[in-house]
């Protein structure tokens, strides 16, 4: 029953907020007349002005704390901060308040400790508001909205670069029991400010794909459902429109690579329950980006998406967005590998005779503690062997006419090497013994040679060393 009442109040408050915004626009203030910033212009601003932080997986709680302190100090009152609560291990969960407008918006990131992209984007957005506060777009945002920003909800998980908190609980399945202090903080902020919209900011698995042929789902969006029937009301209309605005902001960069996240209702999740409690939630899941510096593009896209969405809420332009733009997005799929070697002859190293197959490598990026500090590290292995035509990859290597084997020695490109090429029956103890060395088998390390036939049988010249680490 309480749900129905809450929903009614929210719908009414949404209407009144837009009436208010429209009234503001009727006064023809110059900042409201300024057209929205173009995605390209925002991307350029980000390139010029982003905070000089390490890649998001290496941004620690300590860095977030010093960024928060700096923002508060530099802003002379524009950015306020409080410690909204503490993690299981006592780390401060910071809540920043920016803006003086009538419409509260809540943004939280890194509820999952190993999903850090949006934390950096939120810090960049705070800095952007601070730097440009006297210019029309930032000014109208600050006049219309009050942003409540939690840049790292799960600092214990972030410290370990793991999904769950220090209790081993997935905070995003704790919305009903509220056994995690981090979840309690989020619930308390929601109840205290009754935001009109919440942005729930995550990273999705790098195997997430979209479209045919599969490409990286660079960003996936969800206008979160609040019941099993996936009903529509003012909250969900709004979050669908916000999602459509985000699609428009990202398409210049990643057309065809924006996915729609599964909208099944998850009764334990925060997004679903926060929507039930009265605040429509937009879930943004950042996915994979190919190339040596994926974080740069991924943070930039978050920055562009969020500022564009906030501006559309601030001006009321979100009201004119077409929800069908979001609804038409292709659904997420799970068909992306990191690397595929297509069509090579596999020298498996298991006494299996050579055979033609595609070899697919998948993995995740992790963080390793070393004596020199935290370092990014891939955990990648061979995950698929066979006809992989239905899969996509961040990198596809044409293996036609070539051979692929495990790496047997520190040899380099151009060298000729001896590679066991099977030929015998892979049975019995001999087969098992042969498997003790490096192999091209499921689960084997992502270290491969791409080879060309050499001067003698059993000898091969190294064309390329494939190693993901």
CB of residue 137 to Zn ion, shortest distance in Å: 30
d(CA 236, CA 4): 14
Q: Where are the alpha helices (DSSP H) in 341-459?
A: 428-434
Which of 50/112 has CB closer to Zn ion? 112
| 272 binding Zn ion? (CB under 5 A) | no
CB of residue 358 to Zn ion, shortest distance in Å: 30
Q: Residue 348: is it exposed, middle or buried by C-beta count within 10 angstroms (0-12/13-18/19+)?
A: buried
Residue with smallest beta-carbon separation from Zn ion: 202
Tokens coding 144 = 């219309």
Among 361, 352, 356, residue whose Cα is nearest residue 382? 361
CB of residue 401 to Zn ion, shortest distance in Å: 42
Which of 154/239 has CB closer to Zn ion? 154
Q: Where are the alpha helices (DSSP H) in 374-460?
A: 428-434
CB of residue 172 to Zn ion, shortest distance in Å: 6
Q: Which of residues 377-436 bind Zn ion (CB under 5 A)?
A: none
Residue 355 in 3-state DSSP?
strand
| 170 binding Zn ion? (CB under 5 A) | no
Q: Which residues contact 362 (CB under 8 A, 6 or more apart)?
A: 206, 207, 337, 338, 380, 381, 383, 384
The site map against Zn ion for 108-147 (x = CB under 5 A) is ----x--x--------------------------------
Tokens coding 102 = 């009538």
Which of 245/284 has CB closer to Zn ion? 284
Residue 200 in 3-state DSSP?
strand
d(CA 310, CA 291): 29
Which of 86/163 has CB closer to Zn ion? 163
CB of residue 200 to Zn ion, shortest distance in Å: 8
| 202 binding Zn ion? (CB under 5 A) | yes
CB of residue 139 to Zn ion, shortest distance in Å: 33
CB of residue 361 to Zn ion, shortest distance in Å: 23
DSSP notation for 32-68: HHSPPPPHHHHHHHHHHH---PPPGGG--HHHHHHHH
Q: Which stretch binds Zn ion (CB under 5 A): 20-28, 201-209, 365-373, 387-395?
A: 201-209
Residues that bind Zn ion (CB under 5 A): 112, 115, 202
């Amino acid at each position: 029953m309480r749900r129905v009442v809450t929903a009614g109040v929210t719908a009414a408050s949404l209407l009144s907020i837009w009436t208010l915004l429209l009234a503001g626009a009727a006064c023809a203030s110059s900042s409201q007349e300024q057209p929205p910033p173009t995605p390209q212009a925002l991307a350029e601003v980000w390139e010029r002005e982003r905070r000089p932080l390490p890649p998001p997986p290496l941004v620690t709680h300590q860095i977030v704390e010093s960024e928060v302190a700096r923002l508060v100090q530099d802003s002379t009152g524009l950015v306020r901060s409080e410690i909204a609560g503490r993690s299981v291990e006592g780390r401060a969960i910071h809540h920043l308040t920016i803006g003086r407008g009538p419409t509260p918006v809540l943004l939280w990131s890194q509820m999952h400790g190993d999903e850090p992209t949006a934390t950096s984007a939120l810090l960049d957005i705070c800095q952007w508001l601070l730097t440009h506060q006297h210019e029309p777009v930032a000014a109208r945002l600050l006049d219309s909205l009050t942003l409540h920003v939690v840049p790292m909800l799960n600092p214990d998980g972030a410290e370990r670069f793991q999904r769950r908190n220090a209790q081993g609980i997935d905070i995003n399945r704790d919305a009903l029991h509220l056994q995690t202090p981090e979840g309690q903080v989020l619930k308390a902020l929601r109840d205290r400010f009754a935001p009109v919209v919440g942005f729930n900011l995550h990273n999705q698995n790098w195997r997430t794909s979209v479209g045919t042929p599969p490409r990286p789902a660079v960003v996936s969006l969800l206008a979160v459902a609040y019941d099993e029937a996936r009903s529509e009301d003012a909250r969900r209309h709004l979050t669908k429109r916000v999602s459509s605005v985000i699609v428009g902001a990202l398409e210049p960069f990643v057309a065809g690579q924006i996915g729609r996240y599964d909208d099944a209702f998850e009764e334990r999740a925060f997004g679903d329950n926060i929507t039930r409690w009265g605040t429509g939630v937009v879930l943004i899941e950042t996915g994979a980006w190919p190339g040596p510096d994926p974080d740069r593009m991924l943070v930039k896209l978050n920055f562009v998406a969020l500022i564009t969405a906030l501006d559309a809420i601030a001006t009321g332009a979100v009201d004119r967005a077409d929800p069908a733009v979001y609804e038409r997005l292709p659904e997420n799929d799970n068909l992306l590998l990191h690397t595929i070697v297509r069509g090579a002859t596999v020298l498996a190293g298991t006494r299996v005779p050579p055979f033609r197959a595609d070899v697919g490598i998948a993995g995740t990026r992790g963080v390793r503690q070393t004596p020199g500090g935290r370092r990014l590290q891939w955990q990648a292995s061979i995950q698929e062997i066979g006809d992989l035509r239905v899969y996509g990859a961040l990198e596809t290597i044409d293996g036609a006419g070539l051979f692929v084997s495990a790496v047997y020695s520190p040899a380099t490109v151009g060298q000729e090497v001896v590679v066991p090429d099977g030929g015998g029956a892979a049975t019995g103890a001999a087969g098992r013994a042969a498997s003790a060395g490096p192999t091209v088998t499921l689960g084997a390390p992502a270290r491969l040679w791409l080879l060309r036939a050499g001067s003698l049988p059993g000898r091969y010249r190294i064309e390329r060393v494939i190693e993901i680490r």
